[in-house]
Amino acid sequence: MKKPPTAYTALRQPVLAKMQSYQRDFLVHDRRAWRQFPGVEFLHFTRETGTTLVFLFPHDHPIWPHEGVHLKYLFGTADRWHILTQISKLTEYECGLIQTPRLCYHGRSGHVVAVTPEDALNIAHTFEAQVRGAWGQQMKASFQTFHHPMDRYEIELEAA
């Protein structure tokens, strides 16, 4: 039985045909990332001088730090909200590059489709809004179930 295509095999020919240098971006780094996170939705950008792979991890994926946790990130630290905004910013950067044309793809596993830069921006912005909404609902739910020890004291004072 033949294996279903992976994102790597689906994109190998068009990506390598477009690239003039830094093919290791795709051949090594992107391939390794897809193996590490199979089935995760992504945006992929190909330029003549390299690629950018942006994963769109679901809001409840274990890769996201918990609320209030800061991770080492680039040259400092960042919480999950900051990291989330970087998906749209990176997509905006890739779609706004002067160097054209470039290839933009959206997919999950072996199902990959070419998209316009405008579509890629819409996908990134919609994704960010959905994750923000889900995290906001989680925070709201946890806030409603949290009771501070002083709450009881204040209720007792009001009753007196």
pLDDT 10s digits, 145-158: 555 555 555 545 45
pLDDT of residue 145: 53
pLDDT of residue 136: 87
pLDDT 10s digits, 69-84: 999 988 899 999 999 9
pLDDT of 59 > 60? The answer is: yes
Instruction: Give the start-to-end residue ranges of the domains of the chain.
Output: 7-159
pLDDT (average), residues 61-66: 93
Angle among Cα 19, 22, 28 to the nearest 5 degrees reads 105
CA distance 152 to 55: 45
pLDDT of residue 20: 92
Average pLDDT, the chain: 85
**β-bridge mates for residue 112, sequence order:** 107
- In the chain, what percentage of residues exceed pLDDT 90? 62
pLDDT of residue 140: 73
pLDDT 10s digits, 120-137: 999 999 999 999 999 988
The two structure tokens encoding residue 14: 């068009």
pLDDT of 5 > 90? The answer is: no
What DSSP designation does 48 have?
T
Among 47, 31, 86, CA closest to 64: 86
pLDDT of 98 > 90? The answer is: no
- SS3 of residue 3 by DSSP: coil
